[in-house]
Amino acid sequence: MSFKDLKLSKPLLRAVAEAGYDNPTLVQEKTIPLILDKKDVIVSAQTGTGKTAAFALPILQSLLDKQDAPKKGKTIKALIVSPTRELAIQIEDNFKTYCKHTNLRTTVVFGGASLEPQKDTLKKGVDILIATPGRLLDLHKQDLVNLDYVETLVLDEADLMLDMGFIDDVRKIERLCTKEKQILLFSATIPHKVEQLANSILTTPERVEVAQNSSTSKNVAQLLYFVPKKSKIELCLHLLRNTIKGNIIIFRRTKYGVDKLEKTLLNNDYKVDSIHGDKSQTSRQDALNRFKTGEVNILIATDVAARGIDINDLDAVVNFDLPNVPETYVHRIGRTARAGNTGMAYSLCSADEKSYLKTIQQLIQIQLDVIEDHPYPLDPKAEPIIHKSKKTGSKHRKGRKSEASKKKKKRWY
Ligand code: AMP
């Protein structure tokens, strides 16, 4: 099947061709006709299947079909609700790519960023709004968004949205839109609570199911941040403040790194504990219990210390340091999204870890989703910092070991 068969008009076909897409993906083939037919749909598809275009293209097509109507001030006709700021930004990027040969306007609003620029864009009028739930409700309360004209409501990553505790917000948003709207629910998995939500707000929905494309990406959104080594702590704090919520494991390669990060997070009033090989069994068990009972929601760990521990309900895994053994990456992120839940994996990659990243991506056969929009970007030309071992230098700043010595010796955590 080609995109032309999907009855998309020229400006969209041109944008899709320029994006380098030859043919629609399976989820696009199955979903686009249903959306154009104004059906409510429940789509179970992972990130990486092309699901964003599966709703973005038919939404744009429907808006283009209506553009002959006399030009009034722009009103929000499509609303996409997304659980996280990163996903919201990605969705907007997608919309921007596909609508670049049209005069449709889109914008994105999310928490943790200044209200003013978002207010200004909204005042100018947009056709498509992408939003995280909290910020959308804030703006609505202040009378800065009008949802009276929404014809299509998309709930993206619905399972994640519910896991993050947005159920009441989602229901509120649904009620704020017109009754007659079309609702599109996208979710990596359809657990009972998503099914319940769908039953209560969708009207005789059609269902589309697309199989996973890789064991690692099962239900995990894998995001990658390039960041200078010295800024990793700042970026980690920024993500914890704005993006990463819930029960989190942060992996570091060394015990020293675990202790250092724990101190920083404690100083910033996070509820955190840690496990690594230098801690006594009792203190490790205490840390685990505090994590499991919810007394703390962040656990910092080395790989060996965390191995084999069954920790349920993990919302996110943070690879503060990328592992030098690629299989370790798969084990780490396998700790989130267990038992059909969804999860997030955030990887922070500095210049000297790019070779690890390469081997990880080769192993899992997936390119991680690079998030460029963050305050500590890495200069793409940055060279790895090689610490020459000096007698006066810290023992934690030794250069990397040779491949041969890595094989022979036990790792240092
Ligand atoms: P998504 O599942 O929406 O996160 O999309 C995953 C990636 O697939 C994005 O980088 C899209 O740009 C890309 N993509 C979407 N549709 C197609 C297509 N038909 N052909 C090739 N790549 C696509």
How confident is the model over 384-394, as pLDDT tens digits? Answer: 765 544 444 44
Which residue has its alpha carbon closest to ligand 1 atom 16?
Answer: 50
Tens-digit pLDDT profile for residues 16-68:
999 988 889 889 999 999 999 999 999 998 766 789 999 999 999 999 998 75
276 near 326, Cβ under 8 Å?
A: no
Q: What is the pLDDT of residue 342?
A: 75
Angle, CA of 342, 343 and 348, to the nearest 5°: 155
Answer yes or no: is the C-beta of 31 below 6 A from any ligand 1 atom.
no
Q: Please determine, looking at this structure, whether the domain spanning 3-209 carries the CATH number 3.20.20.120.
A: no
Say whether 220-370 and 3-209 share the same fold: yes
Answer yes or no: is the C-beta of 49 below 6 A from any ligand 1 atom.
yes
Phi, psi of 355 (to 5 degrees): -70, -35
Answer yes or no: is the C-beta of 336 below 6 A from any ligand 1 atom.
no
Phi, psi of 168 (to 5 degrees): -65, -40
396 near 252, Cβ under 8 Å?
A: no
DSSP three-state, residue 117: helix
* Residue 268 confidence (pLDDT) above 50: yes
Strands 182-187 and 152-155: parallel
| Domain 220-370 class in CATH | alpha beta
Sketch the domain layout of the chain as residue ranges: 3-209, 220-370
Q: What is the pLDDT of residue 400?
A: 45
Measure the CA–CA gap between 339 and 314, rounded to whole angstroms.
11
* Residue 395 confidence (pLDDT) above 70: no
Sheet of strand 272-275, all strands in order from the earlier edge strand to the far edge? 272-275, 298-301, 248-251, 316-319, 343-349, 220-226, 369-370
Which residue has its alpha carbon closest to ligand 1 atom 6?
Answer: 48
* Residue 354 confidence (pLDDT) above 50: yes
Tens-digit pLDDT profile for residues 206-260:
999 886 444 455 678 899 999 999 999 999 999 999 999 899 999 998 999 999 9
Pocket test for ligand 1, best of 21, 366, 369 (most atoms within 8 A of CB): 21
Is this structure's pTM higher than 0.85?
no
**53 Cα: distance to centroid of ligand 1 (angstroms):** 7
Measure the CA–CA gap between 184 and 207, rounded to whole angstroms.
10
Q: Which atom belonging to ligand 1 lies closest to the Cα atom of 94? A: 12
